[in-house]
Structure 1
Amino acid sequence: MDISSKRPPQRATIELWRIVLLVAGAFLFALFAIGRVPSRDTHESILTSLRAIDINHASLQRDVLQARAGLLRNYDPIVDSIVNLHATVSKLRKLFPESGVESTAELDAELTKLAASIDGDEKLVERFKTDNALLQNSFSIANQMLSELHESSDPAVVKALAISTDLGNLMMRFAAQPDQRFEKPIRTQLDAMSRSEAASIPDVASYVVHARMILDTLPSVDDTIRSIQASRTSTEAQTLQKEYLDAYGILSVRSAWSRILLGSISVLLCIYIAILVYRLRSQTHRLTQQLEFENLAATIKRRFNEDFDNVSAALTDSLGAVADFFDCSSYAFAVVSSDVKEVEQLFGNVEASLFRSLLERLSEKMAEEKVNGDRPYYHNLQKLEIQAFPEGALSAGSITAMSIDASSAGILFLEHTEVRKKPDRDEIRLLGHAIVVLIQSLQAQREREEKRALEARLEHSQRLEAVGTLAGGIAHEFNNTLGAILGYGEMALESSRSSTRTRQYIQQILSSGHRAKHIIDQILTFSRKRERVNRPFDLKEAIEDIVPLVKLSIPGTVSVSTAIDTGLPSVFGNPIEIQQVLMNLCMNAAQASAEEGHIEISLKKVEFGNVTSLSHSELPRGDYVLLSVKDNGDGIAKSILPHIFEPFFTTRAKSGGTGLGLAAVHGHVTGMNGRIDVESRPSEGTEFKLYFPAIYEDPVPLGQFFNERTIPLGTGQLVLLAQRDTSLRLMYEEKIAALQYEPVGFASMAALKRWLAAAGRLPDLVLLDLDLWQDTPDLGKIVKEFEMIPILFLADPGRDGNGARPLDRISLLRKPVSSISLATALFNKIGRRSALPDVAR
């Protein structure tokens, strides 16, 4: 199955602060649930206070009655009851808001009524205290006076007491029950006593006053007591208690539901916290496993980053580390073909036959799952015996695969010692990462090898560029000399009409000069100043043409033999380059050979069905023409062999070696898309094998690379020539004259312009050598300056005006200039004015 296609959505990381926040939330909800319970202490305090009102009010009534009966020594109990009632009301005012009940306004209203009733009671008590004090005082004095009067022997007193014989009894009965039945007789007797002779006696008068005060005060005191007894304080307290208990009942019900809700939320939060903690532990385990895997991946990458040549050892070590990580005893990593049918490479401790058997059983299924895609493929091995692989809950190992490139894929095989539970998603994901790391490491190693090869080629190219710069400068100077040789040689050949030996010598000079011209062209190509001229040619013809010169160029003690097959296909390139390559290789072989050295040159066709590794490159499969140069010299040391094609690298610097010969060989061979293989054994000799791709086209005859076309001649047209060098100017004048034109030479542009101003006629052509200017001039500006006169520029390949913007009217003739190239250029500019001018090569 595809690992990534069935991967669950990535879960967000669980931060610790979330769990802490949830714990705090659960704790707060629990506190809220506890806080929603009405305060038991407050509730008990309120009930106690309400009961205290009843008790204090009852105590008040009791104490009032006792005070009326004269049983209290003072009124402190009565005052205390009133104070307690007020204190209880104040306490209730504070307790009700703390109780949590919602109907506090109703409770406050009832409490206000209760307080008003207590205030009324307090006023009655104050009145009672005043009246009762007088009453009790009168009772005390009256009783004392009456007792003293009964004991008196004064006849007047005795007579007065005789008048009111029943007064004491009536007073006692009136005190117990104030009533008109007793009040009237008492007042009658008191009046009689006041009219008696004893009325003037102080004790009698005092007794009468206090008795009358008792009669006046006692009804008022009893009325006050009845008002106190009829007080609504107890009723208001009961009403307040009922209101409070009703509100408290509602509060208790709501509190119970709130506690249930908040408690449930708290419990749910605790359960969720437990789930998060479990997930956090799982995530921590997963992250720990991921971190360990990242360390493993870093170890694998470091193993591949080390400088080593044995990729197999690095892969085997990395596989062992992967197997240890996943607790596996058997492991293997294979590079297979894209159709998952052929094992190209196998690493690990699994036998190749067992792995191939496994691959045969899984190839169709893996191909159906598109194992060569960009995503890892996973397959569970259920049984220890590798026979059948159904999906199941048990696992004996895993197969993970992924594409390496378009033509190959990688397969990772891991087997456990014992059957265990099937890997979870995280482990399957890590298995996919494991094969990704192995494949990336393998690809990175290949990329590093390719990078090193490219760096070596870049370094080689830079060295060749330095050589090219040097070669371009040499060719620039050599062009002028070669132009004079060819020019005068051609004129000498034309002036010598007889078939003499001198004419043959001149022809050889011209032939060698043309060969030198092509060599200069190749040097300029090497220095990137000329485009390489390549055509199909017969390699056998080019080799056979240069072999005689090779034999003449090497010492006579060194023999040369050839083994050249016939019927060879053509190659695409330049025969001059091949001849230079063969000359350089043979000269090096001769220098490395002993006194009786031998050089063997062979040429044959070879075929390769696969990519083949060579000493300095890789050879793609295909048909090739193999040019081999073998000697029996001293050979090349193994440490030197990788550097032999580097420019300026030489082991014979003391004997005049420049290190440019093999660099030129490498440049020419690679320029023809060829490959080089060098085999060397110290003290036994060296063999250079040059492989050139075979093409099946008709070859261009070798002579066409040297011979020119028939020379077109002029008809006396006037040609102005400007050339700074006197010898070259004279040579060009003679060549132009030989081509039947009328030349006029000038040493500078100023002289040419003076002639034009004085002559009064226009030339048919102006031929200007760019050597007249120190720096390359603006060719377009010069062409416009001469307006209707055709202009032809003689240009050294290093100063051909390529830096300027090209114009259709600019024509260049590159040096060295042969008669045919000069004749063609003059004919194109003068004889074909209607045609567009071209660039002579």
Structure 2
Amino acid sequence: MKRTFPPVLALFVILVLTALLRNGMQPGPGEVDTMQRALDRFENAQHMLRRDVISVRAGLLRSYDPIVEDVDALYAALAPLDRMAQTPANKALIEDLQASARRQEALTEALKSDSALLQNSLAYFSTLSASDDLFDQANVEAGRLTGAMLRLTLNTSSDTQALVDRRIADFAAGPGRSGRDREARAVLLSHARLLRQLLPETDARLTALLAEDDVAARAQLRAWISHERVRAETRAQRYRNALYATAVLLTVVLAGLGVRLAVHMANLKRRGAFERGLAEMSAEIVAARPEEVKARFDSGLARLALHAQADAAFLFGEGDYGCARIWPRPYQGADPDWAPAARALAGLAQRRADGVFRGAATWPWPEGQDAAPRRANIVAMVLVNEHGDHCVLGFARFEGRVQIRDADLGVMRLALDVLAGGVRRSRMEQQRSALEVRLQQAGRTEAIGTFAGGIAHNFNNILSAIAGYVEMASAIPKTPRAVTRYVEQIGVAVGRARRLVDLILLYGARSSPVRQRVDLRALLGESVSLLSAAHGQTATFAIEAGEEDYRVLGDPSRLQQIILNLASNAVQAMGGNGQVALTLGRRVNRAPVEKTSGVLLAGDYVVLSVVDHGVGMSAATRSRIFEPFFTTRPEGNGLGLATTAETARELGGAVNVRSVLGSGSTFEVWLPAGGQAPVGAVSAPGRGETVLLLSDSESLCQDEERIAALGYEPVGFVEIERAIAALRAWPQRFDAMVARTNRAECAIALRQAAPALGLILLSDTRLRANAPLRTLAASLPNSRLLSGSLTATDLAEVIAQAPTATGGV
């Protein structure tokens, strides 16, 4: 319908203009002009008829054919008038003219007859007057009669008629002398009497014919024709005015269309340039190195703000879209907290059907020192993924409106998709890099632990021999006191060496850690009691914790060891005197970030801070404090902080250190809140445990790579029958089972084949849509259903909970 409308409209306009032009060029209708010409022909025919009749009466015209043609012309002129009579009044007038024409025809016919007789009689008189031998002698009366008849021919007045009557009487009274004379007299007398009768009658008919002129009817018809002409001219003028107005309107419309077309072309050119810039921005973000990503985002926001003519552009996301970037940056000298405002705008946009918020909202004022929020015109659009994570792209302008039209929303949504995709790619790359770093660290730590453990075991054997000899030497009676004192000092050194060996064995231990939810607030209070008893009155400990949830997943004894290690180090850094501040807080990390002990992934964390005002550390010391066996104290062993960092890493966290030489230190331990590992975290890699993997042919390789990257050895199967046969043939070979399936019978078959092994079901369907499989997994012992990514924590837990578990993480 939309495609056919413009041609139909154009055709309609052409027809209207044509109609206006035709009606404006014809000042009167054709019927009026035809009537005018017919009336003119009627009058002309009537004049021609009178002329010809007079010519016949005068004897100048001998043929009656012109008169017949004149009569025919009268009727021919009346024919169109009769056909075009438009009103009853006009019809009556035309009928009057027709009646007049008929009367003129009748008079003409009579005149034609009379004229023929007159011509005959006048011809006889002419012959008589030219021949003198018709009478016996010259007859005066005949001459007088001829003269009187000639006079009657010219004038048919009553006096002339009386004179003719006397002359006829005188001529009739004269005697005839011979028969020939009497006969001639009789013929002349009969012609005289005929002329006496016809000439007055002919003149009377001629007078009647000349008087037969319906001037009033013709005048009324002409007046009506003139009125119709005026009406037609007025109507034509209206059409011409309408044509002019239409032409002006069409010109205005065409000019408007031209302006709109020019604006549209400019917008298309502007949009094309913007889309090219958007493609370049996307390519730059994709090709950017990790250290260049933030600069690319800022550059992209600057382009978008320039396109929208905005004072500020921001990109804010949470969850998978975790980011917080704003342009201009720095915010023109001020750095207001704009994240809450961006989060509120994301909520407003989500409530809109199209996901776009337009209107006034409070936004931080960027200029000068006054960072108080002000009302600004805002355009914000939100993108939400299937997990409910959102990413909002917004623009703010304090004076005027943000220049984003409805036609630009599609491009801006594309820009949001590009930026959000860039955020996700950047996060995935950071998580991949962090995973590689963590795996490398785990490998190095495991190697060091294995090496140290082996040395410690051998060293422990040597210490055992020394301790035995010490006991034997102490049992020798009458040993000199000096020797006894030396033997006791050897025993004390052996005790210290045993404690060092225990720390080395703890650092390199391969035992399965206990995993349970631990309230750090309560654990911190218990630890401070132990610290106060150990350090006496010279050192004090201040605890600061809010009312938030500070539960984490871990081993209470190892978590307490972290607190004791850090607090004891703080007391020692202050020389045994002073106050140590221990603070608990909650922090949200939107993207992977580098901490002192390693990369910390995105997530929600509980942060334990230990602050002292001791001697502090140099940058060189800070860079090595988490290395095993590195220490700055002669009595230290270099394993306390290494064990702290390793324990935090196993729990999916990290340790960060801030210190200034001579001004004290702050140690922050970041642990996943609520016992949940952060996004993409591997809380503890495996130790080479064997995992039976059942997957489809398309996902098998990817699942095997994932399990191998987590530190486990996968054995993959595509067919359930072969997997069950492997379980039954060598049940001790496997430490856990992982099956990617949506079928309940597969889960039941695996559980029946190996009741003691932990089972993880990977479902490609979201949990809400797979309620039967979820219920089955809950009913099976040591089984769980996952709809997301498989983590080392999941494998470690099912392996640790298995009665036949042989290893752990």
Taking structure 1 as the reference length, what is the TM-score of the superposition? Answer: 0.46
The structure showing larger relative contact order (alpha-carbon pairs under 8 Å, at least 6 residues apart) is: 1
